[in-house]
Amino acid sequence: MKITGTFTPQKTSERYTAMLLVDEPNQPSGQLLLAIDRLEPVLAPVTITHVSAMMAGADWRITLAGRGVFTLSAPDLPESLTPLLPKGARRSSFVGLAERLRWRGMIVICMLIVASLIGIRAGLPAAGDYIARFIPIHWAKTAGDTTLSQLDQLFLSPSKLSLADRGRIDQIFASINATLPPDAIQPKLLYRSAPSFGPNAFALPGNIVILLDEMVEFANDDDVIAGVLAHEIGHVTNRHAMRMVARSAVIAVSVGLVFGIDDSFVEEMATLGTNLILSSHSRKFEREADKVSIQILQQLGRDPTSLLKLFDKFAAECGDGCNKTSFFDSHPGLDERRALFE
Amino acid sequence: MAETPKSPTDAVENPFPSKARAADLDENGYLFHRFEPLEFTGTAWNYFKIYFINIFLTLLTLGLYVPWARVRRRRYFYSNTRILGDGIDYLATGFDLLKGWLLVLAGLACFYALPFFDFGFAYAEAIFLVAVLFAYPWAMNKSLQFNARNIVWRDVRFTWHGSYWGVAANLFIAPLVGLLTLGLLLPLASRMMRHYIAKNYSFGSKRFEVTTNLWDFYKAGLKTVMLCLGIAFMIIMPLDLIYVNANSTLEQLDMNSHQFWIITIFVLQLLIVGLFLVTTSFYRAQTRNLMTNGLRLDNNIRFRSELSGLRLAWIVLQNAVLIVFSFSLLLPWAHVRYYRYLTENTYIRPYNDMTQFVDDEINAGHSIGDAVSEAAGLEIAL
């Protein structure tokens, strides 16, 4: 059999029409001959040391020991070459064959991909939470301390609350802590001020709760403050901060793996999408914290609906837009939060 | 009974009768002294299959397949790019890229684990990021070196001759300075970047050379600015009208103001992204033309690039819209379309049959730089 192609002597850019001869009349079996047009010697025995992997549309590069490269333009390597290929080189590969699937096969592949992505999306929270469980407590504490020192540097100033106010609020906090199971780690309360944040309170990893002066002023009611603190402690006891970190890490890694092969543009789009996913997880955590807040307030004998007063105050400032939940918000809309209390 | 042949090849008939060499025509019948376009023989459908099999196998192997996926993607584009009929090939294997990939994964894991350890000072993450920033020129340089040695045409490979400081100065600091001077020095920076890339590649032992005029880069910049202003004007005018008549628009659309502003801001962001894509593609097409037209190899081999900035911008914009609306299902099609436009508008004018090149024996090195560059999204757009 004569296999027509081109030949390039090794490490040069020369190009000759050539043929590989195998199983020709009078040719011993197992011998491969290379015939080159206009280059001496015209006929020579060769051995194949390497064949490029199968690739749609591309030529086959067949490396001949000590001579050069024979290039063949064909969709498949001829059968007769198979016994002459080096060990380990295959005429076709699993991936190469897979890439030759017709459209039906591709639809199956696409469905499998979509199914895997849905599975990943569904398994994300579980995977993130599982990882979060393994994070040692002192690591979480370090993370919390680091975050706090960064916040202190950038946004937070020392609190200006009076000692009397602080004493009172400390007592409220202690009473909430008393409702926690005895083996739970006691959260710590810190006071700060941050006019740029407005009325707010947040929970950091390492069981830290931060209460802003602006929130104390805005709420102006011990029951409401108790509700806010209970809500934040809800975040602490359910390890929301660590779980969010773990979940966002899992998402980031998954996106990086799936889309990192190709365009970084796609990766950026996917990252934007992951923010939507994380926001939905965040809303879920806020709902959980609201529920914890109701429970704790009931246990303390305070008015469990005190947070409703806070929501009304927010609504007065914020207008109708804050009542609805949108995909972009980290907290559920006020209407939804109110509904929990009924 | 057959006679014993005197040599292994005596018995087999010589398939090539001798004939006189035709003057001035090389094997494929290309005439010298004429610009020949590069060809791209790939199709969107073939790449689509490769792309999705890549994703599938990556998911199946939880990411371990990525090095092989990258190799297949690169091989597809390179080996379907034909210069004077012969395809380029990419010779790195998945195993070559695996080391770099594993190191990048380990680096990412370290980065995520950083906040959990007490180093005695805050901002460990910031220091890590700054260290990574300093590593970028190294990664880019190593990546160019590795990939050049793995790209072969007719058994001669390319070589990259750059250095850390050269890459840092020309590919990172120069564009940064260009941006910081509000674009005044950007054409100069573009020229420096293009020149640095062109002058530091060689094919075999012959270096590329490039000659361009700085003023041409500034003309390209001015054209881009005018295009940008023109489009911005077309966008801002309608938005202004909406803003000024906000109340009546709200009633007509039956929305409250909060939702309205969210949508407006979202649309505005989209338009700005669109404008950015159009402007950068337009400018990139111009500078690429300038560089390619001034490129020479072995003194007499010339190149030409005839990209239309507007056409490229339009392709990029359409691609972006299609990718977003198809949730990146159409990404393979978009990628092939873009690459085909670039390839088919690039020309080479050989002055002989291009047989004078000889490969030099330079090692490709490791693939860590390549993996870091991919992870960081660094790329040289040619």
pLDDT at residue number B23: 43
* Coil, strand or helix at B102: helix
Q: What is the Cα–Cα distance from B136 to B372, expressed in whole angstroms?
A: 8
pLDDT above 80 (res B250): no
pLDDT at residue number B25: 47
Compute the 3-state secondary structure of chain B and give helix, strand, coil in percent, each to the nearest 5.
Answer: 60, 10, 30
Mean pLDDT, chain B, integer: 83
Taking only residues 312 to 341 of chain A, the set having a beta carbon closer than 8 angstroms to any beta carbon of chain B reads: 319-322, 324, 326, 328
pLDDT at residue number B338: 92
* Mode of pairing for the β-strands spanning A188-193 and A208-212: parallel
Give the other-Cβ count within 10 Å of A17's Cβ: 16
Q: Does residue A109 belong to the interface with chain B, where contact is any CB pair within 8 Å?
A: yes
Rounded to two decimals, the pTM is 0.77
Q: What is the Cα–Cα distance from A183 to A310, expressed in whole angstroms?
A: 32
The answer to whether B309 touches B223, Cβ cutoff 8 Å, is: yes
pLDDT at residue number B381: 53
pLDDT in tens, B31-40: 567 888 999 9
pLDDT at residue number B120: 61
**Residue B1: pLDDT band with limits 50, 70, 90:** very low
The answer to whether B84 touches B354, Cβ cutoff 8 Å, is: yes
pLDDT above 70 (res A265): no
Helix (H) or strand (E) holding A72: strand A68-72
The answer to whether A340 touches A290, Cβ cutoff 8 Å, is: yes
pLDDT at residue number B119: 66
Residue B11, both tokens: 């018995």
- Burial class of residue B266 (count of CB atoms within 10 Å of its CB; 0-12, 13-18, 19+): exposed
pLDDT in tens, B180-237: 998 889 999 999 999 999 999 999 888 999 999 999 999 999 999 999 999 888 877 7
**Residue B375: pLDDT band with limits 50, 70, 90:** confident
pLDDT at residue number B77: 92
| Cβ partners under 8 Å of residue A246, min gap 6 | A128, A129, A131, A132, A135
Three-state DSSP string of B44-79: HHHHHHHHHHHHHHHHHCCCCCHHHHHHHHHHHHHH
- Are residues A263 and B331, on separate chains, in Cβ contact within 8 Å? yes
pLDDT in tens, A277-310: 677 778 888 888 888 888 888 888 888 777 787 8
The closest CB to that of A27, out of B12, B14, B72, belongs to B12
The closest CB to that of A13, out of B12, B204, B331, belongs to B204
The answer to whether B161 touches B146, Cβ cutoff 8 Å, is: no
pLDDT above 70 (res B254): no
Taking only residues 176 to 235 of chain A, the set having a beta carbon closer than 8 angstroms to any beta carbon of chain B reads: none
pLDDT above 80 (res B350): yes
CA distances from A120 to A164, B113, B376 (A): 51, 22, 24
pLDDT at residue number B198: 92
pLDDT in tens, A215-234: 888 888 888 888 888 888 88
Give the other-Cβ count within 10 Å of B359's Cβ: 20
The answer to whether A50 touches A86, Cβ cutoff 8 Å, is: yes
- Computed from CA positions of residues A48, A50, A53, A57, in that sequence, does the dihedral angle turn out positive or negative? negative
Type of residue at B228: C
CB-CB neighbors (< 8 A) of B206 in chain A: none
Q: Is B298 left (phi over 0), alpha (psi -120 to 50) or beta?
A: left
The closest CB to that of A44, out of B9, B13, B46, belongs to B9
Q: What is the Cα–Cα distance from A35 to A27, expressed in whole angstroms?
A: 13
List the one residue out of A132, A125, A1 whose CA is nearest residue A72. Answer: A1
- Are residues A71 and B12, on separate chains, in Cβ contact within 8 Å? no
- Computed from CA positions of residues A127, A128, A129, A133, in that sequence, does the dihedral angle turn out positive or negative? positive
The closest CB to that of A12, out of B55, B115, B357, belongs to B357
**Percent of chain A scoring above 70 in pLDDT:** 85
List the one residue out of B59, B58, B57, B67 whose CA is nearest residue B90. Answer: B67
Residue B139, both tokens: 């990664």
- The interaxial angle of helices A240-259 and A137-154, nearest 10 deg, is 90
Cis bond before residue A41 (omega within 30° of 0) = yes
pLDDT at residue number A266: 55
CB-CB neighbors (< 8 A) of B156 in chain A: 11-13
The answer to whether B305 touches B346, Cβ cutoff 8 Å, is: yes
pLDDT above 70 (res A270): no
Give the other-Cβ count within 10 Å of A129's Cβ: 15
Query: Residues B54-71: what's their mean pLDDT?
Result: 86
Considering A47-61, A140-154, B183-197, the range whose residues carry the highest mean pLDDT is B183-197
Residue A96, both tokens: 């190469």
pLDDT at residue number B325: 82
Query: Residues B33-55: what's their mean pLDDT?
Result: 88
pLDDT in tens, A71-86: 999 888 888 888 888 8
**Residue B5: pLDDT band with limits 50, 70, 90:** very low
Query: Residues A129-138: what's their mean pLDDT?
Result: 81
The answer to whether A253 touches A287, Cβ cutoff 8 Å, is: no
Residue A63, both tokens: 């490396």
pLDDT in tens, B99-112: 888 888 888 778 77
pLDDT at residue number B234: 83
Residue B352, both tokens: 């002989």
